[in-house]
Structure 1
Amino acid sequence: MTSTNDASINSTPASGATSYVLVLNCGSSSLKFAVIDASTGEQPLSGMAERLGSDDAEIVFKQNGAKQTQALTPHTHKSALQALVTYLLGYPALVQSLTAIGHRVVHGGEHFREAILIDSLSQQRIADCSNLAPLHNPANLLGIEAAQEAFPQLPQVAVFDTAFHQQMPDYAYLYPLPYEYYRDLGVRRYGFHGTSCRYVTAEAARLLNKPAAELKLIIAHLGNGASLTAVKHGHSVDTTMGLTPLEGVVHGTRCGSIDPGIIAYLAHRLNKSTDEIDAILWKKSGLLGLSGLSNDCRTIEEAAANGHEQAQLTLEIYAYRLAKAVGELMIPLGRLDALVFTGGIGENSSLIRARTLDWLGFLGLQLDSEANEQCIRGKAGKISQNGHAAAWVIPTNEELMIARDSVALAAAAQGEQA
């Protein structure tokens, strides 16, 4: 396999050719990638490397409706990135059309309020935030470093999950802890899924035919990680995730908000270290822990339909906690123009949406059952009856948002150099 050191690519787009952005999303055990036309959203190449770190790690390339799967040895992020570069080398015209590399970076701390062109200083600051996101930022840096080696002539852009929430007021992001923990250690609410929220906010404004500056939204990004965000006049004013993506509503394998006293209680009763308890909260809780079956909502819904009582209870807890979070986020908004469901569960689980709205009738949200059943597999639409507030399904597209940011910053940098 060609290494990234050997596979350095001179990527100057041909005159008049379509310009694409390579978007990289390095997770703790995965790598998502896509080559995207930022103006149209077209993706001539996409794919994912999964189960990195395990013996069955593999990478899947999707191109022109066809799939190609390749086992990865060694089972590392670097191996996956090398496989991607090697694959791209087989398509020189596509490589020549690349104008930038866009990287999803999970945690930007208080350093970054918007997307940035990556330089040595910003790269060090991303590394400094690794203590806030130890599962994600080191993986994000691997993607950045590999892309810099493979594409040395291309602008590298970092787009931060936390950036959209950096305008939250201090009374929303500070925890009731000794103030020096915030001042000296950066302990505060940061929030995540910000790139998704930015995209969905713009789409909601378009679909509701109102400027984002006039809207008050609650965006429920529901996937294996789940968060709700209150968006007022185009800006995040509060969100359910906190210092880390562990806080908030029920996640796939993460517990969400719990009494912090539980940590010491379990450590004592189970004779486990705080690190061991932390691993349980991150990897063995949420939908997986409650159901005892899976972190996949589809599996739990199927079991519930077949009479599995624990699965039924799991879904009720999930919907109830979502509805509670909506109620809390009404406080900074005052009124609600739209509750928007997005993410894998939000876009595809008509059952979760219906059960959540059942709890929210007091807000004037009444389900349109037929519309709700139709809004799956990427279809946007209003799923509530006419009333004071509306519920919508709006598919997110974080990769397109990253591509757009990358094109804009690359063009600005080119203009400055001209």
Structure 2
Amino acid sequence: MSKLVLVLNCGSSSLKFAIVDAENGNEHLTGLAECLHLPEARIKWKLDGKHEAQLGEGAAHDEALSFIVETILASKPELADQLKAVGHRVVHGGEKFTQSALITDDVLKGIEDCATLAPLHNPAAIIGIKAAQKAFPSLPMSAVFDTAFHQSMPEEAYLYALPYNLYKEHGIRRYGMHGTSHLFIAREAAERLGKPADELNIINCHLGNGASVCAIKNGKSVDTSMGLTPLEGLVMGTRCGDIDPAIIFHLHDALGYSVEQINTMLTKESGLAGLTEVTSDCRFVEDNYGEKEEATRAMDVFCHRLAKYVAGYTATLEGRLDAIVFTGGIGENSGPIREMVLNRLGVFGIEVDGEANLKARFGGEGTITTTDSRIPAMVISTNEELVIAEDTARLAGL
């Protein structure tokens, strides 16, 4: 019996999709609909070769899913017939969802209730869920929450030093994101290091346009850099990460920015985009480091912040760190950033293996430190889609 699961990851203007066999991890279809709601809305997919098509001006998630069903899957009906379930990535589950859940009306309402905590992400997930329910009315569906893996964090890690009633009455605390990726990396790292998962201590750096670090102790999250929302923590593509909160008051009171303008600035105009004043693309920063002032300062700030987090998280692991892991689009492919970060961590007896580090990109994985390094650093490709497919198959009883 097949265990094919359609995995959907909805952004505000994108829809990433894949058909994954939860039994063996094989991907039978991958694709991305992007620029949704815009004139150039388009879809790209890989199924018996690479393909691309225009979705039509202003096409939204409904149209993208209709295209997947009526055009892509219609071209391979035997694949469509084997679909058993649909799994949805949902960024924020608050404290309500400590693990993945089959989607019911109550679960959907819970996701909607958490939308204030992830205003860019949860509404997009809800749109995707409702569109998928129309497209696949007979299939069971699950929600897999980015925040769930971090529900093991102790109170000392998730509480902010704010009036306690804000937590008790309004749930204001650290939740963390990228949990599905951090969970996958914890499993993979344990296997590669030959350790039982419940004895693994690592610091995982998920670096992409969004980025976070997670301290994993005995296989469980004990701290992570993203907070109430995905804005806190590292320097990201367009997000500022950690700043002095009083900057917000200064922008508003002294410089006349509106709350909406400040929100847009911190989430869409900061990070690498703000530091370079050119682009959020890490490849520009890497390619022009040392040549262009804007690229150099952006990369230096990015690496300084990341190294500081990694060093700080060693304090949560009580004396034993089995490995530092890099994953995500930047983590898996940027040798220069990995090297700059690890060089800042020399106090821990870490020495980069230059050749191994250069080879670890475009799917290349493995240890990137020398054999005499006290703590190894590794590159492992993440696979959130597989985790979502496996959880969905389990919940659906496949």
Normalising to structure 1: TM-score of the pair?
0.92
Instruction: Choose 63-72 or 97-106, whichever is displaced more.
Output: 63-72
Q: Is residue 313 of structure 1 aligned with residue 297 of structure 2? A: yes
Q: Is residue 20 of structure 1 aligned with residue 21 of structure 2? A: no
Q: Is residue 229 of structure 1 aligned with residue 193 of structure 2? A: no
Q: CA deviation at 1:71?
A: 3.0
Residue correspondence of structure 1 range 143-292 to structure 2 within 5 A: 143-292=128-277
Counting aligned pairs with the same residue, the percent is 51
- One-letter code aligned to 1:327: A
Q: CA deviation at 1:329?
A: 0.8
Q: Name the residue aligned to 2:51.
A: 67
Q: CA deviation at 1:381?
A: 0.3
Output the CA distance in 2 between the equivalents of 1:69 and 1:378.
27
Give the 3-state SS of the residue equivalent to 2:36 in structure 1. Answer: coil
The equivalent position to 2:377 in structure 1, one of 388, 391, 410, is 391
Instruction: Choose 119-128 or 71-80, whichever is displaced more.
Output: 71-80
Output the CA distance in 2 between the equivalents of 1:328 and 1:69.
47
Q: Name the residue aligned to 1:402.
A: 388
Q: CA deviation at 1:377?
A: 0.6
Check the 8 A contact 1:105/1:137 in 2, yes or no.
yes
- One-letter code aligned to 2:266: L
Q: Name the residue aligned to 2:36.
A: 52
Output the CA distance in 1 between the equivalents of 2:31 and 2:104.
27
Output the CA distance in 1 between the equivalents of 2:231 and 2:356.
32
Q: Deviations over 1:130-157 (max 9, x none)?
A: 1111111111011111111221221101
Q: Name the residue aligned to 1:30.
A: 14
Q: Is residue 299 of structure 1 aligned with residue 284 of structure 2? A: yes
- One-letter code aligned to 2:353: D
Q: Name the residue aligned to 1:135.
A: 120
Q: Deviations over 1:44-78 (max 9, x none)?
A: 21110112232212111221222232233333222
Check the 8 A contact 2:332/2:380 in 1, yes or no.
yes
Q: Name the residue aligned to 2:317.
A: 333
Q: CA deviation at 1:212?
A: 1.5
Give the 3-state SS of the residue equivalent to 1:256 in structure 2. Answer: coil
Give the 3-state SS of the residue equivalent to 2:27 in structure 1. Answer: coil
Instruction: Choose 84-93 or 361-370, whichever is displaced more.
Output: 84-93
Unaligned runs of 5+ in 2: none
Check the 8 A contact 2:42/2:52 in 1, yes or no.
no
Give the aligned length. 395
- One-letter code aligned to 1:74: G
Output the CA distance in 2 between the equivalents of 1:151 and 1:311.
46
The equivalent position to 1:372 in structure 2, one of 324, 337, 357, is 357
Q: CA deviation at 1:404?
A: 0.8
- One-letter code aligned to 1:393: V
Q: Name the residue aligned to 2:346.
A: 361
Output the CA distance in 1 between the equivalents of 2:65 and 2:55.
13
Output the CA distance in 1 between the equivalents of 2:160 and 2:36.
35
Output the CA distance in 2 between the equivalents of 1:238 and 1:368.
28
Q: CA deviation at 1:224?
A: 0.2
Output the CA distance in 2 between the equivalents of 1:282 and 1:208.
37
Output the CA distance in 1 between the equivalents of 2:81 and 2:166.
48
Q: Name the residue aligned to 2:307.
A: 323
CA separation of 1:367 and 1:356: change in aligned 2, threshold 3 A = same
Give the 3-state SS of the residue equivalent to 2:214 in structure 1. Answer: strand
- One-letter code aligned to 1:49: A
Q: Deviations over 1:329-378 (max 9, x none)?
A: 11111221100000000000000000000100111211111100010011
Unaligned runs of 5+ in 1: 1-15
Output the CA distance in 1 between the equivalents of 2:283 and 2:24.
31
Normalising to structure 2: TM-score of the pair?
0.97
Output the CA distance in 2 between the equivalents of 1:234 and 1:207.
14
Check the 8 A contact 1:73/1:79 in 2, yes or no.
no
Q: CA deviation at 1:235?
A: 0.4
Output the CA distance in 1 between the equivalents of 2:258 and 2:268.
15
Check the 8 A contact 2:202/2:321 in 1, yes or no.
yes
